[in-house]
């Protein structure tokens, strides 16, 4: 959600900023813009309502070739409708202070009223614009008049004005600010919103996501909550909001920008669906030792004594990650370990019931999901330990958690999550096996069988993907449908929910997921003749019940597509089948979701939807 770019160095800043914004498009946005200080210290500002391609065309008509410092932004509307006026960057009255911002300033109305009373004129409806005017006001308080401050004093003055302004902000924010009179330094700050700095030679980059500048450098510093950075082309300094100096060691990112290209696929989503065998392999690699009967992850570093003492495992997440948590709940319960799963956004009251014998498992692809991070803080305040499952090294969630398990799936560009979900599931299966072994619930023989079955999953995924053409054909038969039902039972009930979510996300049609046994308690009333119903029905202990639920739906006119294996196909009667490789009931969610992802993709493709950038959605939801 929203994306920040910033550059200071010797290259043409406008080109760097626009390229960075292109690489952040996957996050979701509705407007964008850049601001560059030219060689004469004049501010060049260009904004559009719409895509980065339109901004690039506008910039090409006359960017300042001498501009070596600037900031850019892709915005997803929170305060104020999508428009050029509301697009970032925002400026002060003098149009010398320019700001880009991710997050929400909770006290912006009070600040705006105060600034209006002081004579400031606002040009937008956003909360962000108050920051520019607030810094302008602080500069006035520091007696900064035109040409009244020596050039060697501009940086200290800018720093102090920025620091005092940040001190008045409440809410979540990642900021990058340029002052036209001081183009040799960009000020940045972070509170509850991601911000990272890329280290180059004679140049530095600022972004909300490393992908914005990864083609230029892999050496980065992640800014911490409550921290500011003074960034120059050949140096940088870090401080707390109170002005105390801090220090950082750079880290090196292990993937490069070529991994974020489509690789010949029509959409990133399809490419990422096809990367799922590798994603699961990467999550499992080095963490399973089946020949020794071990399912314990080597990197988790969670004491066995702690695992044995854990009485409840509490999953918290949002969206697709929540569905992974629901599978996790069922998996832990299978082993006899008490487990719960809750939406992170609804976790406040549950957090009050936690104690030191609860392990909270927080799941987030980006590691920056605001609701999940706040829920983690509530959980830790209640005395619980937190395990983070995330795809993003150095993210906020990894720094908030007690333990971390990275999924190593590589960048996921499509807004509708696919391979990140499979990576999350694989990580949960690792953790579940880890706990079951620690608690003596898996003996050596069972542990080996569990690990070996997990290691077979990537090959099964490839078998399913080899049937893509037949899934595409089935999806084409329902491309004109405006209503879909997905049903299943037990561990695959969350997969039914995930299938429905994928249709909604990228096809913009009505879809519902239900526990199959609940259909007769009300939802069966919405079935009409020809309504598509996708039944996730692999071999399981509840297969006969599932087959009965399918018959009930067929009797009311549903057109049933059954997700089955060769054995369960004999029991479930449907008009169409998608046949999967046979795996144990426990592991089936790792396979059953894949045909539902492909089904949703091809329905959306037939409807000519913007699959990688669905309307109203953002990849990383960094505000609550």
Q: SS3 string of 538-602?
A: CCCCCHHHHHHHHHHHHHCCCEEEEEEECCHHHCCCCCEEEEECCCCHHHCHHHHHHHHHHHHHH
Domain stop point among 445, 465, 485 = 465
Write down the pLDDT at residue 620.
Answer: 65
- Residue 124 clears pLDDT 80, i.e. is over it: yes
Same domain, 435 and 538: no
Catalytic residue among 2, 182, 409, 609: 2
User: How far apart are the C-alpha atoms of 97 and 158, rounded to whole Å?
Assistant: 10
Buried b / exposed e across 488-523, counting CB within 10 Å, b at 16+?
bbbbbbbbbbbbbbbbbbbbebebbbbbbbebeeee
Q: Which of 235, 258, 281 is the last residue of a domain?
A: 258
Average pLDDT over residues 93-100: 95
Last residue of a domain, one of 431, 450, 465: 465
Please give the Cα distance from 74 to 66 (Å, whole number). 23
**Which residues, including other chains, have CB under 8 Å from residue 510's CB and lie 6 or more apart?**
482, 483, 484, 504
Q: Are 314 and 354 in contact (CB under 8 A)?
A: yes
Containing domain of residue 168, as a range? 3-258
Same domain, 489 and 543: yes
Q: And the tokens for 160?
A: 């102090």
Q: Is the domain of 496 the same as that of 600? A: yes
Task: Looking at the structure, tell me whether residues 132 and 201 fall in a common domain.
Answer: yes
Which one has a higher pLDDT value, 256 or 278?
278
Same domain, 446 and 537: no
Q: Please tell me the predicted confidence (pLDDT) of residue 300.
A: 65
| Mean pLDDT, all residues of the chain | 89
Domain CATH code at residue 84: 3.60.20.10
36: left (phi over 0), alpha (psi -120 to 50) or beta: beta
Kindly tell me if the per-residue pLDDT of 258 is higher than 70.
no
pLDDT single digits (tens) 424-471: 999 999 999 989 988 989 888 888 889 889 888 998 999 999 999 999
Residues 461 and 481 in one domain: no
- Whether residue 287 sits in one domain with residue 174: no
Structure confidence by residue, pLDDT tens digits, 302-341? 888 888 999 999 999 999 999 999 999 999 999 999 999 9
Could you read off the pLDDT of 574-616 as tens digits, one per residue? 999 999 999 989 999 999 999 999 999 999 999 999 998 888 8
pLDDT of residue 222: 92
What's the CATH number where 408 sits?
Answer: 3.40.50.10490
Residues 475 and 618 in one domain: yes
Question: 276 and 227: one domain?
Answer: no
Catalytic one of 138, 385, 504, 619: 619
Q: Are residues 269 and 210 in the same domain?
A: no
pLDDT, mean of residues 132-147: 81
Known catalytic residue at 619:
yes
Most confident of 121-135, 373-387, 589-603: 589-603
Regarding whether 301 and 277 lie in a shared domain, the answer is yes
In the annotation, is 138 catalytic? no
pTM attached to this predicted model: 0.75
With residue 199 as reference, give the H or E element that holds it.
Answer: strand 196-199
- Together in a domain, 221 and 269: no
Count structural domains, the chain: 3
Average pLDDT score over residue span 172-195:
92
């Amino acid at each position: 959600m929203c994306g920040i770019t910033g550059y200071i160095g010797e290259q043409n800043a406008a080109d760097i900023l626009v390229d960075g914004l292109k690489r952040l498009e996957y996050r979701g946005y509705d407007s964008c813009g850049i601001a560059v200080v030219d060689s004469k210290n004049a501010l060049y500002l260009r904004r559009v309502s719409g895509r980065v391609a339109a901004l690039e065309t506008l910039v090409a008509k006359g960017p300042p070739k001498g501009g070596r410092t600037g900031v850019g932004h892709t915005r997803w509307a929170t305060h104020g409708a999508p428009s050029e006026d509301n697009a970032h960057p925002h400026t002060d009255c003098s149009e010398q202070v320019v700001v880009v911002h991710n997050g929400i300033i909770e006290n912006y109305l009070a600040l705006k009223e105060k600034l209006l009373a002081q004579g400031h004129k606002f040009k937008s409806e956003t909360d962000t614009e108050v920051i520019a005017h607030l810094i302008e006001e602080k500069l006035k308080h520091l007696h900064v008049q035109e040409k009244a401050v020596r050039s060697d004093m501009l940086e200290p003055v800018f720093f102090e004005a920025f620091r005092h302004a940040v001190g008045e902000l409440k809410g979540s924010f990642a900021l990058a600010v340029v002052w036209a009179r001081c183009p040799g330094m960009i000020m940045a700050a972070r509170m509850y919103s991601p911000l990272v700095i890329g280290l180059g030679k004679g140049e530095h980059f600022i972004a909300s996501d490393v992908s914005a500048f990864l083609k230029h450098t892999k050496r980065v510093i992640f800014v911490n909550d409550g921290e500011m950075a003074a960034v120059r082309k050949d140096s940088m300094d870090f401080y707390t909001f109170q002005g105390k100096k801090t220090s950082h060691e750079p880290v090196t990112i292990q993937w490069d920008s070529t991994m974020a290209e489509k690789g010949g696929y029509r959409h990133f989503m399809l490419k990422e669906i096809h990367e799922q065998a590798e994603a699961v392999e990467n999550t499992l690699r080095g963490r399973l030792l089946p020949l020794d009967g071990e399912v314990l992850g080597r990197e988790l570093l969670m004491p066995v004594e702690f695992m044995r003492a854990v009485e409840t495992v509490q999953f918290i997440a949002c969206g697709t990650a929540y569905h992974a948590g629901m599978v996790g709940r069922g998996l832990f319960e299978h082993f006899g370990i008490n487990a719960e799963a809750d939406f992170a956004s609804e976790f406040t009251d549950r957090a009050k019931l936690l104690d030191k014998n609860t392990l909270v498992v927080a799941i987030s692809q980006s590691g920056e999901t605001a609701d999940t991070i706040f829920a983690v803080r509530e959980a830790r305040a209640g005395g619980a330990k937190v395990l983070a499952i995330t795809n993003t090294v150095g993210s906020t969630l990894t720094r908030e958690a007690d333990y971390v398990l990275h999924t190593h799936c590589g960048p996921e560009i499509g807004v509708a999550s696919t391979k990140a979900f499979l990576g999350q599931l694989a990580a949960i299966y690792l953790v579940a096996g880890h706990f079951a072994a620690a608690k003596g619930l898996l003996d050596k023989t069972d542990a080996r069988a569990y690990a070996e079955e997990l290691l077979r999953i990537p090959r099964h995924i490839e078998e399913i993907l080899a049937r893509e053409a037949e899934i595409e054909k089935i999806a084409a038969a329902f491309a004109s449908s405006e209503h879909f039902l997905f049903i299943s039972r037990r561990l695959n009930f969350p997969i039914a929910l995930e299938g429905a979510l994928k249709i909604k996300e990228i096809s913009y049609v009505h879809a519902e997921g239900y526990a199959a046994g609940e259909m007769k308690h009300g939802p069966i009333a919405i079935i009409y003749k020809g309504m598509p119903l996708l039944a996730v029905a692999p071999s399981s202990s509840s297969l006969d019940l599932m087959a009965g639920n399918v018959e009930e739906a067929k009797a009311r006119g549903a057109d049933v597509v059954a997700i089955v294996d060769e054995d369960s196909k004999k029991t479930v009667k449907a008009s169409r089948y998608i046949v999967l490789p046979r795996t144990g009931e426990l592991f089936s969610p790792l396979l059953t979701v894949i045909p539902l992802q492909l089904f949703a993709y091809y329905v959306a493709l037939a409807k000519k939807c913007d699959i990688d950038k669905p309307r109203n959605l953002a990849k990383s939801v960094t505000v609550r």
